[in-house]
Structure 1
Amino acid sequence: MRYLSILCVASLMFSCVAFAQSGTVKHTVAKDETINQIAQKYQVTPYDIYQLNPDVKTGLKPGLVLLIPKKSSKNATVTATKSAVNSNVKTHLVQPKETLYGIEKKYNISDEALKKANPFLVTDGLQIGQTLVISNGVSTAKEATKKEKKESKEAYVYHDVQPKETKYSIAKKYNISIEELEKKNPEIIQNLPIGFRLTIKGSPPKQYSNPVVTTSETPVKSTAPKQDLMDYQVKPKETLYSLSKSFGLTQEELVSLNPILSNGVQEGMILKVPVQSTPVITSDFPKNTTVLSAKVNSNERKKMALLLPFNVSVLENDTENSIQERLKRDKFLNMTLDFYSGALMAIDSAKVLGLPIDVAIYDSQENKNGSNVSQILQKNNLQTADAIIGPFYQSNAETAANYLRLYNVPVISPLSKDRANPISNLYQSVPTNDMVKNTMFEYMRKKNGNIIAVVDPKKESTIQYIKQNQLGVAFASFSSTGALDGASITNLLVPGKMNYVVMETANTWMVKTTIKTLVEAMKSYQVQLVVLEPNATLESDEINFSNLVKLHLMYPSVNRENDTEAARLFKKEYKKDNNILPNTFATRGFDVTFDTMMRLVQGQTYQETTKTVTTEQVDNKFQFYTKEDGGHANRGVYILYYDDDLTIKEAN
């Protein structure tokens, strides 16, 4: 057997060498290289490469040697053609603006079949100039429909989601995959609501169905106001409900604009949506800021608790370091104490105002891996509290919220930026990074601006975010060596409107090139420089600050520059008590705590105030909204810019 294996390997090697000599070349795969890039380099199709290297359908690895057919080889072309005919295959060259959905509909082929014949679509996506293999030997869309009809005749099996159940546990219980479960129940792709009735097999009878939206084949007359439309490509897992919420339209209006939706939502569809619409999480939030007054009702005292990670036991058991030494190097402890110092000022302010609130502070003893939150909640009967602030770590805040969910006690997560799991009584007080960026783009679109992106090719996540979430944004060009083409920025500028240039790079040369190009362009165009997140390069000595002022550098922030009398008083009192000016965490400790206490004395529950009231404290805005998947988040983001007088101001 051993010799047989050696012989087979030797025979295979000989065959490869002989074939290579008669019409192929070798190519060594580089890091991050894709099949599509290799095919374009040698002017062949991905199908040609798969024919000679069938093993790479599962993926490419750096250093792997591929056999590539020579384009000029007549024999190779004939062989490929015969192979295509014998395997009942035809090809399609991807044109501009084509989508997977459109191609699949054109050839009546299912998404699964197309991706199976062209594995690079899964990793690289659809790109202009790709040559796709269209196989008639695999299941078509019609066959898929027949399969669905067959499944619908099966006996109906359902499952009602119970507390603490997961998709994994349910799929395992019925011996199916999570993918199959989501395919049967697309409503649970984003979350798994307790009590939701899942379809396991067959089609549900009407009396057992979860609420669904049905649309008539006859388009509903639109009540949407007339406005300019733009194209929007449907992303994976989007539904008619989520699309209508994203673009501020009713489902009937969306179907009226796009009759194709009457047959359901498909990934890759190109829809017509209003130009001024940009996907936001929801629009049902209070917009006008309200100054809450101290409404004192002596007959009803409120109960609030703070769960803060002092980790006293860790400090007491640390025999190697003194508290002073630990404070020098423990950033998490310093952050906790800063937040606590601000919270204490808020509690003192509430006492001065005579607010009837009892506040308890507990050591949550938390880290990334756990806490003693559950014990604190049980031991101290906190299910009777009117509000809980903390813990710090997202997972621990979710533990507290889950425990208190049945008692409807609001849990305010004070510092986490993570996207929270859908828990009805959890309130994320810090806007997520995506919300911060979305708000910036929403502002630019409301100003009817022309948006241009100058993004370092290394910032792949930012490029992907803009392409997927911010349609219509034009990108500046880079050379093959990664050099920015300043002329490409100028060519994208539009006269007669504000040109917002979103610059995302830490490369000093790239920053200088962008700024120089924009300063020169100001002679003929309206231009404003925009960044989506803090950029240390802009603060270096190599960047001329006066140019940033000329370009009115603009950016989104969860904190504002507050120079009001109230803010100055806060800083003065804080310095008086702590011998230092408050930092971001101290100010946030005050803002979150004081805002919560003021909401509790409005004659409403904390939850009721978040539905109707947007507030501002010293540096932070609290504009809560209910997320589609459950729970609550804050979209209180400021748009700030450098003004001509060298101060930072809030944009209108």
Structure 2
Amino acid sequence: MGIKSNIYMKHILTILLIAFTIGLSAQNYVEHKVQPGETVEIIAKKYLVTPFDIYALNPDAKNNFKTHSVLIIPNSKIKNEPIVENSRELTGYKSHKVKRKETIYSITKQYGISEEELKKANRRLYSENLIKGDKLRIPQYRTIISKQTLSNTVKKYTVQPSEGKWRIAYKFGISVSELEDLNPNMNEVIQPGDTLNVPNIEDTDEKPIEASYGYYEVLPKETFYGLKGKLNLTQEQLEQLNPDLKTSGLKAGMVLKIPQSSETRIAATINSNINTTDLKRNLTNFKTKKIALMMPYQLHKIDVDSVEEAKDRIKNNKLLSIVLDFHVGVLMALDSAKQLGISTNLKVFDTRYHSAITSKLLAENDFSDYDAVIGPMQEESFDRVASALKGDRVPVIAAMNKPKQVYSNVFQTLPEDKLLRKTMLDFIKADSLKVQVVIISDRANKADSEALQKQFPGSKLILSRLDKKNKTKDAFFIYHSELQNVFKPGKTIVFLETDNDSFASSVISMLNGFNVDKTEIILTTLKKGKAFESKDIDNINLSNLKFHYASVHRDYDESKTNGFVKAYRKEYGVTPSKYVARGFDITLDLLMRLASAENLYEASGDTVETEYIENKFRYTTDFFGGYVNQAVYVVKFDDLKVVEAK
């Protein structure tokens, strides 16, 4: 209890420190006030976005959509230029007496009307012939010229065999990122028969897909010269394959058709090893760094005069505990940077985990001269800060979250899930010729597991059983007999793909029972979620199965001397949490990069990879020009410890 008390007291002191340094601050943003009778679908059409885009930025709207509430509306991903459309308005009628030899055709031509319009005004003409002397009503119209936009900007498209994301993006003239924005629930590996949202263009405007070619998405700031080194294709060759380049020029996000040999060359470039950069040798910029830390401390809910009440709030509020741990890591990083000659002016802002407060902070403070902003944690608040500071090119660090949109000034420190999956898949493939592969999956992950099976010819797929009474419901279990005679002497890689903790627990227990004698079972997964962290899963079983997975971070190496860990243990008597380590790693990396170049952008080329206590960072630019961390670990359970797998 004494150690915990020390930690809580330290957190209380941290809160008091923040309370003295806290400031208040916001920005103009595209907002929409819901009018009576409006639905999300109507609003989406008005702004040329999808309902999914609106729900992503306004999650409360799913269950609490009210008139006069304010929604955050993202920029449209669909080009929908206004078109000129003529309409005719009926103003009255004039009389016409039919002459000899006159016909319906000649009369309509004389007055500039259609046959249908004439018959509607004279209904007997539907059944009677025109006779000399008949008196007809001739409708009179006036022409109204107006500009209108297409009402249906998105249509449904069924994925065809051999089509992937890049091919579909190429077909409809959009980027992969835009395709993913239109389909937020799209599987990582799409399958033939999947239905996707795509731009509603004419069928004749769709580009044909050729199976003998590969497809490449142009990165921000890429030039023909840069593509020559990456693809081994000249500008003339690229224009020959992609005629649109001659008129549009090279643009970020466009998908190019390339030979398959060039696609192979890209893969080799991406997978090449990059040595860790020691930024201590490159420190040249020793100007004081101005950093803003925007976190949801929620100080308005804490009575700093009552130590016991503050203790209880820290103990029972998981978010506050995480934030304070991260804050302690930030302060320790500032101290470490100071020892290297890097001074920092840190200003702390309490966002209260509320977008309106974040807007107020932006409105009341000038962030244009800051070297970087760390946070906020809430997705909507982060988006507002990044968007507001984009014009001043102030870097905004997504430290604890993945932003909805990676603007050109955003540094996303958490790698994408698809990179984690690819890293794990490549790691296993390096040994796949020497081992057998078994895939065990629940029904929710069936499609992805079937796609995974195609990656390993000869592998076996075992799906969870369906409920006996409801054949459409997953029962989340497999029979022990289904694993008998599956594992042969030697090594077997078992992929377990599930989000269900009870299913994960039972399968892991069964696998451990088969891991005997000359049979070696290595457990892995492409998507490690909370199912593998259940209290029902024994870490001894995970160690016996040498459980491998791709991870954003690793546990620090206890066998090596670590000044950060030693200092934290001396202060608090316990090992630092992963949030303390993350606060330390992100902040020290930020300060070291700022001190090694003129600004953070210049210090974040894709050949610079840094590594600290538990995290490493290597940034590449994405479609919007922002920076996304590409450095991940493959770790494994070994003797009840999680260590890096080599």
Provide the TM-score with structure 2 as the length reference: 0.56
Q: How does 1:85-124 map to 2 (within 5 A)?
A: none
RMSD: 5.0
Shift of the 287–183 alpha-carbon distance from structure 1 to 2, 3 Å rule, reads closer
Provide structure 1 residue ranges, at least 5 long, that are not aligned to the other structure: 1-162, 221-238, 263-270
Q: CA deviation at 1:502?
A: 3.0
Equivalent-residue separation in structure 2 for 1:317 and 1:548 (angstroms): 43
Contact 1:279 1:469 in 2 (8 A): no
What's 1:176 paired with? 151
Instruction: Indicate yes or no: 2:590 matched with 1:596.
Output: yes
Identity %: 24
Match of 2:632 in 1: 637
Residue 384 of structure 1 is aligned with which of 347, 356, 369? Answer: 369
Instruction: Look up the match of 1:423.
Output: 407
Give the drift of 1:578.
Answer: 4.1
Larger radius of gyration: 2
Q: Secondary structure at the match of 1:402?
A: helix
Q: Number of aligned residue pairs: give it.
A: 435
Greater Cα shift, 571-580 or 478-487: 478-487
Aligned residue in 1 for 2:96: none
Relative distance call for 1:627 and 1:348 in structure 2 (3 A) is same
Aligned partners of 1:429 and 1:633 also within 8 Å: yes
Structure 1 Cα separation of the partners of residues 272 and 621 of structure 2: 8
Whether the aligned pair in 1 keeps the contact of 2:368 and 2:394 (CA below 8 Å) is yes
Equivalent-residue separation in structure 1 for 2:511 and 2:414 (angstroms): 35
The CA deviation at 1:393 is 1.5
Residues 1:433 and 2:343 aligned together: no
Is 1:463 aligned to 2:438, yes or no? no
C-alpha change, 1:177 and 1:450, in structure 2 (3 Å) is farther
Aligned-partner SS, 2:596: coil
Q: 1:507 to 1:351 in 2, by over 3 A?
A: closer
Partner of 1:442: 426
Is 1:187 aligned to 2:174, yes or no? yes
What's the offset of the Cα at 1:347? 0.9
Cα separation, 2, equivalents of 1:179 and 1:318: 56
The alpha-carbon deviation at position 191 of structure 1 amounts to 2.9
How far is the alpha carbon of 1:282 from its aligned partner?
Answer: 9.6
Q: Alpha-carbon deviations, 1:89-131, whole Å to 9, x = none? A: xxxxxxxxxxxxxxxxxxxxxxxxxxxxxxxxxxxxxxxxxxx
Counterparts of 1:200 and 1:578, CA distance in 2? 60
Shift of 1:219: 7.2
Aligned partners of 2:232, 2:511: CA distance in 1, in Å?
A: 44
- What is the letter of the counterpart of residue 435 of structure 1? L
Q: Which amino acid aligns with 1:639?
A: V
Match of residue 166 from structure 1: 76
1:575 to 569, 575, 584: 569
8 Å CA contact 2:498–2:504 kept in 1: the answer is no
Distance 2:542 2:174 in 1: 46
Match of 1:353 in 2: 340
1:2-401 superposed matches below 5 A:
165-167=75-77, 170=80, 174-179=149-154, 186-187=173-174, 190-191=177-178, 240-242=215-217, 250=231, 283=270, 287-293=274-280, 295-297=282-284, 300-315=287-302, 322-367=309-354, 370-401=355-386
The letter for the 1-side match of 2:274 is K
Q: For 1:453, what is the secondary structure of its paired residue? A: strand
8 Å CA contact 1:427, 1:631 repeated in 2: yes
> CA 1:454–1:573 in structure 2 vs 1: closer, same or farther (change >3 Å)?
same
Q: Which residue of 1 aligns with 2:552?
A: 558
Please state how far the C-alpha of 1:476 moved relative to its aligned partner. 1.4
The 3 A distance-change label for structure 1 pair 504 and 381 is: same
1:593: how far off?
0.8
| Distance (Å, rounded) in 1 between the aligned partners of 2:644 and 2:603 | 25
- For 2:578 and 2:265, the matched residues in 1 are separated by 31
Relative to 1, partners in 2 of residues 1:488 and 1:400: Cα closer, same or farther, differing over 3 Å? same
Partner residue, 1:530: 524
Aligned residue for 2:154, secondary structure, equals helix
Q: Closer, same or farther in 2 for the Cα pair 1:411/1:505, shift >3 Å?
A: closer
Aligned residues of 1:500 and 1:530 also touching (Cα < 8 A): yes
Shift of 1:613: 1.0
How far 1:390 sits from its partner (Å)? 0.9
Q: Tell whether the 8 Å contact from 2:231 to 2:266 is kept in structure 1 after alignment.
A: no
Q: Which residue of 1 aligns with 2:69?
A: none
User: What 5-or-longer segments of structure 2 have no aligned partner?
Assistant: 1-72, 83-147, 157-168, 181-197, 223-228, 244-257, 469-474
2:455 pairs with 1:472: yes
Q: CA deviation at 1:651?
A: 1.0
Q: Per the alignment, in what secondary structure is the counterpart of residue 216 of structure 2?
A: helix
Higher relative contact order (CA 8 A, sep 6+): 2
TM-score when normalising by structure 1: 0.55
> The residue matched to 2:279 in structure 1 has which SS?
coil
1:608 equivalenced with 2:602 (yes/no) = yes
Matched AA of 1:617: Y
Question: Which stretch shows the higher mean deviation, 172-181 or 332-341?
Answer: 172-181
Structure 2 CA distance for partners of 1:318 and 1:394, relative to 1, 3 Å: farther
Match of 1:152 in 2: none
Note the alpha carbon deviations across 1:427-448, whole angstroms, 9 max, x for none: 1112233433332222112333
Using the alignment, how far apart are the partners of 1:360 and 1:560 within structure 2? 30
Tell me the CA shift for residue 560 of structure 1.
0.9
2:388 alignment partner in structure 1? 403
Structure 1 residue 168, shift from structure 2 partner: 7.3
